[in-house]
Chains A and B, each alone.
Chain A
Amino acid sequence: MSLLEIKNLVVENNGKTILNGVDLKIKAGEVFALLGPNASGKSTLAKTVMGLPEYKIKKGEIILKGKDIKKLALEKRVKEGIALVFQNPPALQGIKLEKLLDLISKKRSEYEEKHSNLLERDVNVNFSGGEKKISELMQVLALNPDLMILDEIDSGLDIKKREEVVNIIKERVKNGMSVLIITHQGEILEQINPNRVGVIIDGKIICESTDFRKVLKSIKENDYAKCKHCKKM
């Protein structure tokens, strides 16, 4: 059985259809990479699965561990085992990262200790791009989800930090966590080695493959034009 199954998902934001019949399955312990051009619906899919209220589901199902969660509130979905690393998290003036982590979970991870310099700072206030990603990962790891959605976690990370993040993700996957990773970059996929990759264009996943290198090569050579013509690579 899939951990997450999305069936014919149609989603609107501000009256505009962004996702137009997305189908997707992710198994337990699987890493699924989602690629796509700008404004293709990648982040909308991530936020819709998470349950952000500005994304209105018009049609379709989001099934997590056999249960349709599309009517569940955001925080209830977290309890069901979904967590999202935001691409652009908001700044929270006056709220220390340590305080937020305490509210998320009483358990402290080694990763938090390693980046303890961030704990006394206000969440995302004057954080560099890389610090935001580390803070996001700290929060999501504290939730210990079944499905971790990473929306462009690699943007803003230097090579060393990216390697560190990849190692953490791999370790969690080894322990059974599933990952939906959204990215523009091939480098992180080389390091993570996803089980499957999909391409989303105009709000629909139009191709899936177990060979991410082949898909990346095709995108590099033909942009996303060839993806529009292929059913399955």
Chain B
Amino acid sequence: MTMPSANIVKKCSPDFLLIDNEVKSISKSKEVLILSSIDAWNSLDWTKKYFDGKPKGGYFIWVKKQIDFPLSTCVNIASLKVKQDLQNLMVIEKGIKAKANVVCSSLKNNLSGTHKARGKLILKEGASLEYNHVHKWGSMDNVFPDYEFILEKGSSLDYNYSNMFPPKELNIKNKIICGNNSSVNLSISVNGIDSDIKIKEEVLLNGKGSQAISKLKLVGRKNSNIIAESSIIAKEKSKGHIDCQSLMIDNKSKISSIPLLVCENKDAQITHEASIGRVSEEQLNYLRARGLTEKQAIDLIVSGFLKA
């Protein structure tokens, strides 16, 4: 698993571009149908069962044939006090391997925007998806992503979420439903800086032979309050592991790391590990001995922690 690079933000020339609440561009190709969620609702009846009522905004991406390029979407807040209420739907057809770079960001630090995004990703039988999700927010934004991933038989998902520039309030909900022999690798990295952060992640190992690895990396600094609940529920013979690692930078922050394992099958094997540590004095002094200031050294250690 790799953490999505912040360079994705810089290099964004997306297949779907939304600024504030206006769709600015949508690319076209034979293999992939991309529409606004509103247009998908109006033109494709079968999509209605996946939406939670008529959408007000967001994207619909349907990967129908194999593609040899990464998909990309950019959802930006560019104006003051914008409220986004989006529903995103992505469907990857049977046996297709795809990669998506998804960026949601504020273009300035002080826009006080609200980004609410409900998403559903359907991976059909044997499909695989690398989904790199980068968030970059202003310090006054409020952000509520709520995603559900449905993994059909034999499909696989690599989900990498990175948030190095957190908003004032971040409330992430992820639910992953795993079918037979499907697998998911989840990696969530959040750098809490003066933020109120709630993460609720739930993996349902519903299928025989399904597998899940969930890796959370959290950093608490400058009055951050982070509550991270990560659970795996094994209903069938399956394997799962939760790894929650956190780093505390100061005494004004608080991290609550709550791994939860629920087993409903005697042949399932699920484990977890969790740790909350502090910056190593040895590493800090080593970097200072290379001329870095204490702040530079801590920033570097934090970025290394979140990337590793």
Contacts and interface: CB of A to CB of B under 8 A. Distances in A.
Given A95-B303, A104-B290, 10 more contacts: A50-B289, A54-B281, A54-B285, A73-B288, A78-B290, A84-B289, A92-B286, A94-B307, A103-B290, A143-B291
Contacts of B283: 90, 92
Contacts of B287: 92, 100
Given A90-B286, A92-B283, A122 B308 contact: yes
B258 interface: no
A92 B301 contact: yes
A53 interface: yes
Nearest to A79: B291
B304 interface: yes
A71 to B, nearest CB: 15
B306 A100 contact: no
A contact residues, range: 20 to 34
A95 B291 contact: no
B13 interface: no
19 contacts: A51-B289, A74-B288, A84-B289, A86-B286, A89-B286, A90-B282, A90-B286, A92-B300, A92-B301, A92-B304, A94-B303, A94-B304, A95-B300, A95-B303, A99-B300, A103-B296, A104-B290, A122-B308, A143-B290
A75 interface: yes
Interface residues of B, number: 23
Interface of A: 50-54, 73-75, 78-79, 83-84, 86, 89-90, 92-95, 99-100, 103-104, 122, 139, 143
A111 to B, nearest CB: 16
A218 B287 CA distance: 39
A196 B283 CA distance: 33
A100 B289 contact: no
